[in-house]
Amino acid sequence: MYLALGLLGLTLIAGIFYKVSTGSGRSIQRSQIIDLARLGAHQNGQPVTDPGKSATLLLFSTEYCGRCPAVRRSLAEIESRTEGVLHADVDLTDRIDVAAKFNISQTPTVFILNPKGEVTFRVSGVPKPGLIQQELTKLGIK
Amino acid sequence: MSAELIDPRGPRFGAAITSALSLTAFGIAVSAPGGFFTAYPLIVLLAVLFSWSVFSPKTHPYGLVFKKLVRPRLAAPSELEDSRPPQFAQKVGLGFALLGLVGFWFAPVLVAVSAGFIFFAAFLNAFFNFCLGCQMYLGLKRFGLVR
């Protein structure tokens, strides 16, 4: 009986930990420059090769990722109302090498790149509402 | 495999029932002497249910109950999801059920281990919308273990 309660408690703690940590993101201190062309980044099927003037929002998704389309829409929406911000997609379905290189273990994953193409911030899971906008504001982008 | 779109709440509804069954199995298995034997039929039931989702998801009782009784009471889903990750998760569930089903004959304690793992994954899926098996799908693909 106590073991069953213990299992329930452990599972609840794991679930709460997941809810708190998912989509919170973290800053990246040092990063190499990401070659968007080599990643096969695209926007609505059009290849994206150059980073955005002020920032790039890079979404890693897969064909079977259920929550990615909603994230894609929200990134596109930020792009449309923010000067110099570009959003692009990378499909990991057949690019497991990319997932391994950047240590991506779940989709959606979102990277924020600076104008040089370096990763400054990354989020695993669906970003919490307003998080991406808040990070862009921190970078001085409005 | 074909990319079929499903209401994401369907698998979660099934996971809620699975978590109740597996917690009951775990509770029985660890509470009384000989509990592993008493809980064994529940592990058999879980193995049957997981096999059913793996081999014939469309005829699964959870799915039919969801379609007939639950979905009409819910609002339209905001987004449909690809069926492949939840399908994969059912295979992971079946794997754990088989651990208990077969392992029992070698070490009865495996009934509790099996029920415990199934409960952990099913409960997180049902109540936290975190599908452990689905997450494993990309992870395992990375290591080349699934195609």
Q: Which domains does chain A show, CATH number per domain?
A: 23-138 (3.40.30.10)
Q: Give the DSSP letter of residue A93.
A: T
Mean pLDDT, chain A, as a whole number?
91
Q: How confident is the model at residue B147 (pLDDT cuts 50, 70, 90)?
A: low
Q: Give the DSSP letter of residue B102.
A: H
The shortest CB-CB distance from A66 to any of B26, B82, B119 is to B82
Cβ contact B3–A64 (<8 Å): yes
The arithmetic mean of pLDDT across residues A45-65, rounded, is 90
- Which pairing describes strands B81-82 and B5-6: parallel, antiparallel, or unpaired? antiparallel
- Mutation pick from A1, A11, A92 vs chain B, by most beta carbons of B within 10 Å, is A11
What b/e readout covers A92-128, taking b as 16+ CB neighbours within 10 angstroms?
Answer: beeebebbeebebebbbbbbbbbeebbbbbbbbbbbe
Give pTM, 2 decimals.
0.84
| Contact B78/A at CB under 8 A | yes
- Mutation pick from B136, B138, B147 vs chain A, by most beta carbons of A within 10 Å, is B138
Closest CA to B83 of A63, A89, A108: A63
Give yes or no for residue B1 having a pLDDT over 50: no
Q: How confident is the model at residue B146 (pLDDT cuts 50, 70, 90)?
A: low
- Which segment of A115-129, B47-61, B71-85 scores lowest on mean pLDDT? B71-85
